[in-house]
Amino acid sequence: MKKIVDPQRIEDKSFKIIEGLLADLNLPKEQKEVVKRVIHATVDLDYARGLIFHPCAIEAGLAALRTGKNIVTDVNMVKVGIRREILSGFGGAVACLINDQEVVQSSSQSGYTRAAISMRKAHQLMDGGIVAIGNAPTALFEVCDLVRKGKARPALIIGVPVGFVGAAESKKELITLPVPFITNQGGKGGSSVAVAIVNALLKMTEVKGE
């Protein structure tokens, strides 16, 4: 068997397969691009109908990326998966404060998760930018709280934490916020899903900018 080893050919063939699988999915073109990247990263067709987009989500995300705003993530797995070579071309950066000295200390004193406390500490970095949460429901609850209190003003919240405790509930809270979001129903999610959504948007900045 001759294996395909060329990265571009692998990706092209994958997307052809995914497009076949999603032929009947009726979504705006750009939302569908995001869905395709998520399914490419998970091989989980639940995301075909499971992802939920605020109507302005794509537009808000692209504007934030193109104007060099920050991306704040809950965990380092999300941070390192983001294609920073495109982001840094616009002047943007990715911040994850989960291992920040103050955050670690405050977590062990308060009993709150480091992910939640890191959101509080990063609230100013979120201004006009993107928050991408792929792991911790407590981080998403905290961002919702910061937005409600007027302490954080992100342009887009990507909220796909994973788990049996709090993940689904935090997403239900997210979709009531007056802020563009991309999320999904239920407890599924994860770092790979958050990364796929961010990278789909980054890829769109390249195509649409031409």
DSSP for 131-182?
A: EEESS-HHHHHHHHHHHHTTS---SEEEE---SSSSHHHHHHHHTTSSS-EE
Report the C-alpha gap between 95 and 93 in whole angstroms: 7
Assess 189 for contact with a second copy (CB under 8 A): yes
Residues that bind a second copy (rule: CB under 8 A) add up to a total of 45
Strands in 156-159's sheet, in edge-to-edge order, are 51-53, 181-184, 156-159, 130-133, 71-73, 94-95
Establish if 70 lies at the interface with a second copy (CB under 8 A).
no
- Give the footprint of a second copy on residues 100-119 (CB under 8 A): 111-114, 116
Residue 6 in the binding site for a second copy (CB under 8 A): yes
Closest Cα to residue 53, out of 73, 41, 72, 38?
A: 38
CA dist., res. 60 & res. 24, Å (int): 27
| Residue 171 binds to a second copy (criterion: CB under 8 A) | no
Q: Is 40 a catalytic residue?
A: yes
What minimum distance in Å lies between the beta carbon of 13 and a second copy?
A: 5
Contacts for 131 with CB less than 8 Å, ≥ 6 apart: 71, 72, 73, 119, 143, 152, 154, 156, 157, 158, 159
Residue 127: enclosing H or E segment and its boundaries? none
Interaction between residue 162 and a second copy (CB under 8 A)? yes
Which residue number, 82 or 152, has a Cβ lying nearer to a second copy? 82
Task: Using the minimum distance from each CB to a second copy, give the nearer residue, 61 or 190.
Answer: 190
Q: Applying CB under 8 A, does 14 fall inside the site for a second copy? A: yes
Distance of CA 43 to the CA centre of its chain: 17
Q: Does 5 bind a second copy (CB under 8 A)?
A: yes
Q: Segment near a second copy (CB under 8 A), from 34-42, 52-60, 175-183, 197-205?
A: 34-42
Amino acid at 82: I
Residue choice 32, 42, 95, 106 for contact with a second copy (CB under 8 A): 42
- Contact between 61 and a second copy (CB under 8 A)? no
Specify whether the CB–CB gap between 161 and 131 falls below 8 A.
Answer: no
Does 132 participate in binding a second copy (rule CB under 8 A)? no
Residue in 35, 38, 39, 40 annotated catalytic = 40
Active site residues: 40
Applying CB under 8 A, the residues found at the interface with a second copy are: 1, 3-7, 10, 13-14, 17-18, 40-44, 75-77, 79-81, 111-114, 116, 137-138, 141, 162-167, 169, 186-192, 195
